[in-house]
Amino acid sequence: MRKKIVAGNWKMNKTYSEAVPLMYEIKDLLWKSKKAESVIKIIVPPYLYIHDFYETAKGLKNLFVGGQNCAYEESGAYTGEVSASMLKSVGANYIIIGHSERRSFFKETNAELKKKTDITLKQGLTPIFCIGETKEKREANEHFNVVETQISESLFHLSTEEFQKCVLAYEPVWAIGTGLTATSAQAQEMHHYIRSLIEKKYSKPVSDNISILYGGSCNEKNAAELFACPDVDGGLIGGAALKAKEFVEIIHSIPQ
């Protein structure tokens, strides 16, 4: 059985005094929820809050914290950067790698993301590796090629053992923060395609076992339909992860 995962990417939102109560609100709702227990829930706040959130999350089944990014080097003179080992040392279990905002605003390349994935795995953490095409590429019918290149250039050097430790997130760039969601048919089509690439490169058991999340304007209203797709194993949530009730409703939308 593939792991069902809902991760909330807080991006660069919430000051400390706003973030702490929100984390408690989410935790309280999750305490009361039997339905959410079996789902892997990951809160991905700004780096500064990871340790506090890790302490808050302790004791609640399947609740983890993660980082939104990490440096591509292990340590050294890289002012302003945060390493995977530092994230691990404050309680992170997951790191989002290759979010489209990192790719577009910070010009992260597939080669850099390959290094970040390696470093994350080396620390024993799980990369949540993001892939997805822009609106222009979809309109030009190049979305499958884009996703194939992203995966093959950043992940297909991994051994089977390493690759199995990754989580993927398909996030069409045109759907992120825009209110435009991929239809469930579009999401299923791409997730199925991604699984076929993995099967070709590794094997059917590997492709059958890897969790592939959908992200891009996923909310409490559309989550159930997206999560019902056979190849969608949960979601990477942005805006809706900043509202406790909505986020927990999204977690409840994972089919039981």
Report the relative pairing of strands 5-9 and 234-237 from DSSP bridges: parallel
Closest distance between ligand PGA and the C-beta of residue 134, in Å? 14
Residue nearest to ligand PGA (CB): 238
Smallest gap from residue 74 Cβ to ligand PGA (A): 26
- Between 22 and 202, name the residue whose CB sits nearer to ligand PGA: 22
Q: Two tokens at 207?
A: 């492709």
Binding site for ligand PGA (CB under 6 A): 9, 171, 176-177, 215-218, 236-240
The least distance separating ligand PGA from the CB of residue 240, rounded to whole angstroms, comes to 6
For 22-53, give one letter per residue: b (16+ CB within 10 A) or e.
bbeebbebbeeeeebeebbbbbbbbbebbebb
Give the active site residues: 99, 171
Instruction: State both tokens at 96.
Output: 């989002």
Please report how close the Cβ of residue 106 comes to ligand PGA at its closest, in angstroms.
14
CB of 213 to ligand PGA, least distance (A): 9
**DSSP secondary-structure letter at 76?**
S
Closest Cα partner for 3 from 62, 90, 86, 70? 62
Query: Are 252 and 24 spatial neighbours (Cβ–Cβ below 8 Å)?
Result: no
**Cβ proximity of 66 and 94 under 8 Å:** yes
- In the bound state with ligand PGA, the residue whose beta carbon lies nearer, of 202 and 253, is 253
Say if residue 21 is exposed, middle or buried (CB neighbours under 10 Å; 0-12, 13-18, 19+): exposed
Pair 219, 251: CB distance under 8 Å: no
Of 4 and 202, which has the nearer Cβ to ligand PGA? 4
- If the CB atoms of residues 7 and 63 are measured against ligand PGA, the closer one turns out to be 7
